[in-house]
Amino acid sequence: MFDRRKPVGKVVALPVEQIEPSPYQARRVFDQEELAGLAASIRENGLLQPVTVRRLGPDRYELIAGERRLRACKLAGMDRVPAILRDYQDDQTAALSLLENIQRADLNPFEQARGLQDVLALWGCTQAEAAKRLGMAQPTLANKLRLLQLTADQQQFILENHLTERHARAVLRLPENRRSEALITISRRRMNARAADRYVEQLLQETDTPAQKPRRLPMVRDVRIFVNTIDHAIRLMTDNGVPATARREEGDGYIEYTVRIPTGPGPGK
């Protein structure tokens, strides 16, 4: 019987409507201007690098690599695209989709982090095992995953203000309720990553330093003598019919006296 199945590993021309997007695509944002430029190039020169797909069923394929190229082909009005047919399992598909974008630097830091999170969930393995399979250091993987601790608004602020992954990691050292304010300050002052690290360190030191309580300094001998002299003078005046008054306040390292002595004649004079 004649086998009409398309050969695995060969480049074949597939109808674009038969290719479904990958559920493991980490990239969320596509630059429309860039896609338009790629579409123009494809109309002029054709698609130079085929997309990669796997078979899902009769006349159904799932994209493994080449989301940007496939979108540009559709924009260019192509009915068929050259594709390499591969026989991959789910875990291989997720990893390949992610690695293609990472290697091409097509993902922003948060898309990378979400892609890595998806791969870990799919593989059901530890960070150390995933890092080994992805060819990256385990601390690097852990640092990227930590970016997802920032809220969606904070992530969007970082992208819109062209801050870097290092800026994001710097503010993650702060308590949750102080991160947004720190990001605004970093952006407003146009701090580079090193300056942002120093700024966050300063904020942490201010947080760690307990508030100083006012200290009651011991009264040195000469000051005590002076205070006693004032008290004695007030008592002497009041004993002799002069309605003098004194108000004493103690602050942090000082004593303040307010003395009121009437200048007019006393009562009955």
Query: How far is it, in rounded angstroms, from Cα 181 to Cα 227?
Result: 49
Structure tokens at 173: 């050292």
Q: Which of 17, 44, 67, 250 is catalytic?
A: 67
Query: How far is it, in rounded angstroms, from Cα 172 to Cα 147?
Result: 8
Task: Please name the residue that has the structure tokens 């860039």.
Answer: 34
Dihedrals phi, psi of 69, to nearest 5 degrees:
-65, -40
DSSP state of 52: E
Residue 154, CA distances (Å) to 20, 106, 176, 188 in order? 32, 21, 11, 15
Query: How far is it, in rounded angstroms, from Cα 249 to Cα 245?
Result: 14
Question: Is 67 among the residues known to form the active site?
Answer: yes
- As annotated, the active-site residues are 67
